[in-house]
């Protein structure tokens, strides 16, 4: 017969397990990664995660039951957001733990970068310092709504889809650093490829806004001031 203490512990750990169970599918982790950038409709999440709307909706319901995400209905559309900043912090910590324990993550990443021809020896800490000190031109190549939700101070919003037609507006005398959603996002990789092909000195910052916040660094929300240079 179980004691009251054992029942108490069993109940608590079962509740903790609910969060773990909700994260047991890759698409759900990608959804959390995307929501770390800002709220999204189901349709936008489905498109960006390469999933059907039906599958995305199912995964969102699992995350919602675990109280990791929240939903708000606006007419026929439902917009999802993280239930709190601690959810994004948890995701970043989980990602870091997995990277430290699973060699396969680095192998997959390095193989992809090698195939794209963007393997480079970059001192990440030095690059972060240069970005923070304004020593380089920083491009945020995510969609505009993600930039508006929060971006690295001083970064210029220039979504990847607009980059090619606005190359002539970029300074050639300074190194350009492009960033997007974080280490698993390919938008900045594609931006760096395009910039280099057109004669720019360009580097990818593998960190995104959630990583920036995890460092205790400030994030800007001043959309008008920093976007206006590239209208």
What are the tens digits of pLDDT across the range 127-181? 888 988 889 999 999 999 999 999 999 999 999 999 999 999 999 999 999 999 9
- Answer yes or no: is pLDDT of 54 > 60: yes
Pairing of strands 156-157, 176-179: unpaired
DSSP secondary structure string, 98-139? HHHH-HHHHHHHHHHHHHHT------HHHHHHHHHTT-SEEE
Confidence of residue 115 (pLDDT cuts 50, 70, 90): confident
pLDDT of residue 49: 95
Q: Which of 36, 88, 180, 185 is catalytic?
A: 180
Give this prediction's pTM: 0.85
Mark whether 201 and 117 lie in a shared domain: yes
Question: For the residues 56-67, what does the mean pLDDT come to?
Answer: 97
What's the CA gap between 18 and 168, in Å, rounded? 51
pLDDT of residue 122: 65
Q: Which of 17-21, 25-29, 101-105, 117-121 has the lowest mean pLDDT?
A: 117-121
| Tens-digit pLDDT profile for residues 179-208 | 999 999 999 999 999 999 999 999 999 999
Residue after which a domain boundary falls, among 26, 56, 87: 87
**Residue 152 forms part of a structural domain:** yes
Provide the number of structural domains found in the chain: 2
Mark whether 118 and 221 lie in a shared domain: yes
Mark whether 112 and 223 lie in a shared domain: yes
Confidence of residue 230 (pLDDT cuts 50, 70, 90): very low
**Residue 200 forms part of a structural domain:** yes
Question: For the residues 79-83, what does the mean pLDDT come to?
Answer: 97
Mark whether 29 and 78 lie in a shared domain: yes
Mark whether 62 and 9 lie in a shared domain: yes
Tell me which residue range forms the domain holding 68: 4-87
**Residue 95 forms part of a structural domain:** no
Mark whether 70 and 150 lie in a shared domain: no
Mark whether 114 and 216 lie in a shared domain: yes
Mark whether 167 and 137 lie in a shared domain: yes
**Residue 46 forms part of a structural domain:** yes
180 is catalytic: yes
Q: Residue 206 is encoded by which pair of tokens?
A: 């593998």
- Residue-wise burial string across 88-115, b where 16 or more C-beta atoms lie within 10 A, e elsewhere: bebbbeebeeeeeeeeeeeeeeeeebee
**Sheet with 202-204, edge to edge strand ranges:** 156-157, 137-140, 176-179, 202-204
Strand partners, 203: 177
Confidence of residue 228 (pLDDT cuts 50, 70, 90): very low
Assign residue 225 the CATH number of its domain: 3.40.250.10
**Residue 92 forms part of a structural domain:** no
**Residue 144 forms part of a structural domain:** yes
Helix, strand, coil percentages in the chain from 3-state DSSP, rounded to 5: 55, 15, 30
């Amino acid at each position: 017969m179980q004691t009251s203490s054992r029942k108490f512990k069993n109940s608590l750990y079962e509740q903790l397990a609910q969060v773990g169970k909700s994260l047991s599918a890759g698409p759900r982790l990608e959804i959390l990664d995307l929501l770390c950038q800002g709220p999204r409709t189901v349709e936008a999440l489905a498109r960006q995660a390469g999933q059907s709307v039906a599958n995305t909706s199912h995964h969102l319901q699992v995350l919602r039951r675990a109280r990791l995400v929240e939903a708000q209905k606006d007419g026929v559309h439902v917009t999802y957001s993280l239930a709190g900043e601690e959810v994004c912090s948890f995701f970043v910590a989980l990602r870091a733990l997995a990277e430290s324990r699973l060699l396969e993550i680095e192998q997959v990443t390095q193989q992809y970068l090698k195939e794209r021809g963007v393997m480079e020896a970059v001192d990440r800490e030095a690059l972060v310092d240069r970005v923070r000190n304004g020593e380089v031109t920083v491009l945020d190549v995510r969609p505009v709504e993600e930039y508006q939700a929060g971006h690295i101070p001083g970064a210029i919003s220039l979504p990847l889809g607009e980059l090619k037609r606005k190359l002539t507006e970029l300074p050639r005398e300074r190194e350009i650093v492009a960033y997007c959603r974080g280490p698993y996002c390919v938008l900045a990789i594609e931006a760096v490829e395009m910039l280099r092909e057109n004669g720019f000195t360009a580097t990818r910052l593998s960190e995104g806004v959630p990583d920036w916040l995890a460092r205790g660094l400030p994030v800007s929300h001043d959309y008008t001031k920093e976007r206006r240079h590239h209208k």
